[in-house]
Amino acid sequence: MIGIICVLGGCVAMGILRAMAIRRRVKEMQEYARVLSVATAELRYRRDILAQVFVRVAKKCRQPYATWLSELSQALMEAQQRQAYSYTEVAADFDQIWRKHADRLYESSGLKQEDMEYIYNLGQTIGYLDVQAQEEGLALLQADLGRHIRELETEAKDRMRLSLVVGSVAGVLLIIILI
């Protein structure tokens, strides 16, 4: 009897863990939207260098974004101290630094590769454009990100419910097989 309860509990727990992973992804995308909003405001009103913008934004956001932005800021400051000589070198250096740190964010987060496209797009939007083009690009990116999050939220509700049901059904089927 105890073994049957353990099997059922284990399957239900797997369903719950899967549902939590889905919810984590949605929460992280919502936090990224907030990071993007704060970064947009910082760029628009302070008109500071990106490294400084990221330092301030990192202080206002949660993990894993706070660490990501702090490390990104540090890398950008180090690159700036190396004094790249041409616009092409600066843009290439920024893109390389951005992608490297975005990949680190991917490893430490619950995001999927399709979500990372929004992170990569931010780097392309702010890396080398003038201020007005940055603001227009950020507005487009925020609108697209908002749509993506709404889709994720709708999908997450269904997938979380499905994960719980599948976990419960799997547990019941295992019990039936064991009996």
CB 126 within 8 A of CB 50: yes
CB 10 within 8 A of CB 167: no
- The residue length of the chain stands at 179
Whole-number pLDDT of residue 164: 67
Residue 170, token pair as written in the block: 């799997």
* Least confident range of 1-10, 49-58, 72-81, 124-133: 1-10
pTM: 0.72
CB 43 within 8 A of CB 135: yes
Which of 152, 146, 147, 150 minimizes the C-alpha distance to 37? Answer: 146
Average pLDDT, the chain: 78
Read off the pLDDT of residues 43-60 as tens digits, 9 standing for 90 and up.
888 777 788 888 899 999
Whole-number pLDDT of residue 124: 78
Whole-number pLDDT of residue 71: 92
Ranges 9-18, 52-61, 168-177, most confident:
52-61
| Distance in angstroms (rounded) separating the CA atoms of residues 86 and 82 | 12
Which phi and psi (to 5°) does residue 92 adopt? -65, -40
Matching residue, tokens 């697209």: 144
